Amino acid sequence: MSSHHNGLKTAALLGLLTALILAAGYWLGGSAGLVIAVVISLGMNAFSYFYSDKLALRAMRAQPVSEAEFPALYQMVRELSQTAGQPMPRLYVSPSNQPNAFATGRNPEHAAVAVTVGITQLLDRRELRAVIGHELSHVYNRDILISSVAAALAGIVTMLAQLAIFLPLGGSDDDDRPNPAALLAMLILGPLAASIIQLAISRNREFQADASGAELTRDPLALASALEKIQYGARRLPLPAEGQLTSAAHLMIANPFRSGGISALFSTHPPMEQRIARLREQAGAIQLYR
């Protein structure tokens, strides 16, 4: 039920982004500019979609590991993959001491799960298994596809606003051009609205992966406990918000950067306290039906 509800919210948010593009095209009257923005933005995000796994793994300096090196990790992933009836993903380990994990890949057949050295040292077996369940759920929920579509749509809105300055998007008659106030509003509010909707989609994805991951492991309290530890560890050892890390941060189970203040408003992750509270509610519901 929770997964279905979150899926509807994601569809609604994607619909809002699409509506924003149509509104931008109407106000700017630029069919040529709309086509250019769509082509460029879709091309950029197609590259991101097909190569997201390589980009994220490179950003975290993650290396493939064998079953002989990490037998317990392989056992957890194999067990949960078999439970879900899905193929075994590739496994990677990042040398980072910050406790974190992420999954990437456009579908279960091209998926990779990566954990940091820090998370393997911080969590116990039950908690790490719960984190793996969360990450596998990102793959099974097709989150890479959803985030790529959201990024493409948000990019189109932003590029339309930028093209409005340089291209004659309206007709030759000045009356066909949007008035300066409307153009200024589109330039400022359009990209801002698109970014807010994209952030909402990213946060919704985390809630959904928490819920479906807890269903897969049948252990919501283990994930709640893991998130509490991860939050503390990430705050103690924040990663630098620079380079390729900024484009891979939304994939991770916890915000890897220093948070707080106004930056929290633009975080791709929902507040950890909300995630933990939802997991505890889910655990209570499971107990009721046992």
Catalytic residues: 135
Amino acid at the residue 127: E
Give the dihedral of Cα atoms 154, 158, 160, 162; nearest 10 deg: -170
Distance CA 282, CA 133 (A): 15
Q: Which residues pair with 91 in a beta bridge?
A: 113
What are the CB-based long-range contacts (under 8 Å, 24+) for 269-275?
269/202, 269/203, 269/206, 270/203, 270/206, 270/207, 272/227, 272/228, 272/231, 274/207, 275/206, 275/207, 275/210, 275/224, 275/227
Distance CA 90, CA 115 (A): 12
Neighbours of 207 (CB within 10 A): 19
Q: Which residues pair with 113 in a beta bridge?
A: 91, 103
User: What DSSP string describes 142-163?
Assistant: THHHHHHHHHHHHHHHHHHHHH
Token duo for residue 247: 């484009």
